[in-house]
Amino acid sequence: MKILVTGFEPFGGEAVNPSIETVNRLPDQIAGARIIRLEIPTVRGKSLQVIEEALRRHDPDVILCVGQAGGRAQISVERVGINVDDFSIPDNEGNQVTDQPVCPGGPDAYFVTVPIRAMAERIRARKIPAGISNTAGTFVCNHVTYGVCHMIATKYPGKRSGFIHIPFLPEQVAEKGGTSQAGAPSMSGEMMVEAMCAAIEAIVDTSQ
Ligand code: PCA
């Protein structure tokens, strides 16, 4: 089994993005599955193009995307992607759209196809806070959650996909002293790597 795991480049003025930091620290194999790591741009459209190129090159069974959700206190396993791009800040190429579809003519929403409850439970079993989230927002993370589901539904049958939002790293929050985000929740890199390994184990288990 092959799992493509993606993380985003930094955005919104941050020096790092915990998602790609975490993805880059994953081992090559988890529960017997081969892990393929991929950095994707925090850019509308281009993020999905980069994923589709990797999907063609590697033919993974599962695509698991990871993104930063600054301000959330726990690992969030996303349930759904919606066909809405409504960006409250510009992406890394200056795109800031309002009420646009991710995929014109696509269904309103897709549920992800990884076992979200088992993933959240498996993470919590390692004593790491995690839960199911019912919104991935309307920025690039939702764009990717929805867009990958649509890609699979229309062009790559049989593959599964999911999305995990992770908190800030402590070093990101330490730099926010004196700003409105001072004291925002954070989680250590080690914990986030362990959480991702646990989530991936749950995905592998449910495919057998
Ligand atoms: N988080 C953003 C996009 C990239 C990332 O890591 C989001 O939640 O939409």
- CATH number, domain at 8? 3.40.630.20
Q: What are phi and psi of 47, to 5 degrees?
A: -55, -45
In terms of residue numbers, what domain contains 43?
A: 2-205
Could you tell me how far CA 22 lies from the centroid of its own chain?
A: 11
Centre of ligand 1 from the C-alpha of residue 49, in Å: 16
Centre of ligand 1 from the C-alpha of residue 208, in Å: 31
Average pLDDT over residues 112-122: 98
For ligand 1, atom 2: residue with the closest CA: 141
Centre of ligand 1 from the C-alpha of residue 167, in Å: 11
Mean pLDDT of the chain: 98
Taking only the tens place, the pLDDT of each residue in 189-202 is 999 999 999 999 99
Question: Is the full-model pTM beyond 0.85?
Answer: yes
Q: Where are the strands (E) in the chain, listed by range?
A: 2-8, 29-30, 33-40, 62-68, 75-78, 80-82, 109-111, 130-133, 160-166
Average pLDDT over residues 26-47: 98
Give the C-alpha separation, 198 to 201, whole Å.
5
Residue 190 designated active-site? no
Tokens 């019912």 correspond to: 134
Ligand 1: residues within 6 Å at CB? 8, 11, 17, 19, 42, 67-69, 137, 139-141
The predicted pLDDT at position 157 comes to: 97
Residue 65 designated active-site? no
Q: What is the DSSP letter of 113?
A: S
Structural domain tally of the chain?
Answer: 1
Average pLDDT over residues 115-134: 98
Which amino acid, one-letter code, is at 169?
L
